[in-house]
Structures are given as structure tokens and as C-alpha cells.
Amino acid sequence: MAELTLLTINCGSSSLKASLFQAGGERMRFHYKHIDSNHAQNYANAFKALLQDLGDIQPDIIGHRFVHGGEVTEAARLLDKAERARLESLIPLAPLHLTNNLLGVDLCIKQFTCPQIACFDTSFHNTLPEIAYRLPIPQSLKIRRFGFHGINYAHVAQQLPLLLGKAALGRVVIAHLGHGASLCLLENLVSVDTSMGYSTAGGIPMGTRSGDIDPGVILELFNRFDSAQLVALVYHQMGLIALSDGESSEMQALIESDSENAKFAVAYFARQVRAAIGGYAAKVGGIDALVFTGGIGEHARLVRALICEPLAFLGFHLNADANALDLTFLNTLTSKPILIVPADEEAEIERLIRRWSLTNPIKIKGEHS
């Protein structure tokens, strides 16, 4: 079988990333940033730019990151009409992502004739035990916790044995910190708990999402706003943008600001991340390693310091010099491991669609029967 040329598309809450993995082994990367206001139009423009940048290249398979896969257990599924309709029904659970995920699919259908594959963030969390995925609500409602950012958690988990050896099999917390953010607790390299839940609005605070919030607050807001206004508030007007009193949803802008509102937002974010890490330590009796990934996790030195400095009681001690240089290992010699593993959802999508192609053979351009 000839080598495949694969296009992977990672549609996030504030950027569009793509990679073309060519048959000869080369990788072309594409990145379109700062997609915040006027979400739909900005994503349409980003996809248009991507298709223009690809030129005449015709991939053999296209893999799309889908934040929410619902109840399915497969990591990757063929995007036929039925699957597209199923994913469209999940839009209320991840409106920042799924609408634009499907936009990308539709635009690619017009441009290319190859199979398109959906790869799901939620599938990595299929290993969650019942005590982690159940909610304290009537079971008859059939609402549970799912977990997200799973494609990157899977990528990070594959790197950990190379970096940590046998310690990778222990109790590892991965902090995926970006415009969207969550944490995941691994044991034996599988997900056993995570901060996000039923939707992408839960967990720790994010750029424009509050994270976990008292249900009574939502009930009060329901009395003040109609459903469309409430959705806009929950997904676009909370989190860092609200904590900074409208100054910015971008962590780097807040770090660079001298305003008290910005400083408060940064401190609040770090405090909530620490709380989640401490909660995992209490649940499983300690943490063996801490991993930072995502845009904030990889680049926001102040945020890493604010998170790590109070965690000495758990055995984590940040090396200030290593932190200032964004080195892979950030811990002192007497500390448990603290490290950075760069996010790479596109590499994991490539792995998933290559694995899919092994059981779903396709005819490649130029290949004879």
C-alpha cells in the first residue's frame, strides 16, 4: 500500500491549526490565530485561508478534531451523512467548537473527494471510573461527565514514558492551559479524572468561560436573560474576560497589563488550577508528576510560578531558572517532576487516522488495483 498524504485539522476555541503530513514524511504546519469576536465569520475566513494555502494539494484522508463525540467510544469515525447529523445534534454541548468543526467539514467536502474522519476529544476519557463520571443528579436524566482536550492528553501520555520512565505510570496531573483549559489525572497513562464535565463550559476558568459555578447562579441568570442571551453569556462573557472586568480574555495581555483587574484575573486563574491539583492529590493520596501543556501552560511563566509555588506541601518545587527558559523539566533536584510537553493535537489526529486506515483501506491516488 502506498504512503498516505494526510491533512489534520484542529479547530479550537480561539485558533485554527492544521498540518499536512505528506507521503515523503514532510510536515507542513498552518496556524490562524486570534479568532474571538465575530466567531463564525472569522472561522470561515481562517478555513478559506487554509484551503488557499494548500493550493492544489489533494490529501488521501482528512482528520478533524471534534471536541465532543457524545457517548461513542471510538476514537475516530467516518464522517458520513449520519455521523454529521449526530454531531450536529451535540452543538449545544460545545457551541464554541462544534459549529466551526462542522463548517470545516462542509468546506472540505466542497474542496476534496477523500474520506473525512472525526477524531474525538471525549474518547480519551472513556476510562473514567463511575465515581468520576457520574453527577449527583437523578440517573433517569442520562446526563454525565465526559471530559475534553482528550486528543492532546493522549499525545502527552505517549510522550511521558520517554520523559519519566516508570514514573509515567504513577499519578500524573496534566494541566492543559490555553484559551480553553482543563486538567486530567492519569494513572497507568489513562484518564481517571478530569476537570471539565458534561460540557466545555465546566471545570477551571477559561478565556471566556467561567468553569464550575453554583447552579443557583445559573438559575438566577435564567430569570434575567433569554436562552440565546444566556448561551452567549456562558460561552463568551465569563472567565478571564469577566474577571478582568472586560479588559481581555487573553492571558498574555493580562500578564502584561498593570491594571488591578488584570492582576486579579491572573491570580484567580492560578488559584483555581492549584485547587484542582490539590483536589486530585486528596482523591488518590498524592501526585507523582505535574505536566504543563497548551499555550498558557507552555509559555506563561508567571502563571506556572503562581500555580507551583504553593504546591511545596505536595513535593513540587519550581526551578526559577528553568521556568524562565521554558525548559522541558522545571523542577529542582529535590522536587517531584514538573515538566512542559508541547501540545500537538494534529500529530495525535494523524496517528488516529492512520490507525483507522488500517481497518478501512482506501484506494490512494495513483495506486492500481
Distance from the Cα of residue 90 to its chain's centroid: 17
In this prediction, residues 127-140 reach a mean pLDDT of 98
How many other C-beta atoms are found inside a 10 Å radius of the C-beta of residue 198?
A: 16
Confidence of residue 42 (pLDDT cuts 50, 70, 90): confident
Q: What is the pLDDT of residue 35?
A: 61
What is the model's pLDDT at position 231?
Answer: 94
Rounded mean pLDDT, 127-153: 97
pLDDT band per the 50, 70, 90 thresholds, residue 24: confident
Which domains, ranges and CATH numbers included, belong to the chain? 6-127+346-359 (3.30.420.40), 148-340 (3.30.420.40)
The pLDDT value recorded for residue 2 is 59
Task: Provide the pLDDT for residue 368.
Answer: 40
> Residue 344 catalytic?
no
What's the pTM value of the predicted model, to 2 decimals?
A: 0.94
Q: Which of 121, 193, 288, 344 is catalytic?
A: 121
221-257 pLDDT per residue, tens? 999 999 999 999 999 999 999 999 999 999 999 999 9
In angstroms, rounded to a whole number, what is the distance separating the alpha carbons of residues 357 and 347? Answer: 15
Task: Share the mean pLDDT of the chain.
Answer: 94
pLDDT of residue 146: 96
| Interval 101-115 mean pLDDT | 94
28-37: average pLDDT: 79
**For 33-37, 60-64, 107-111, which range has the lowest pLDDT when averaged over its residues?**
33-37
The angle formed by the CA atoms of residues 248, 201 and 284, to the nearest 5 degrees, is 110
Percent of the chain with pLDDT over 90: 88
Q: How far apart are CA 317 and CA 304, in angstroms?
A: 11
Residue whose entry in the numeric block shows the C-alpha cell 463548517: 103
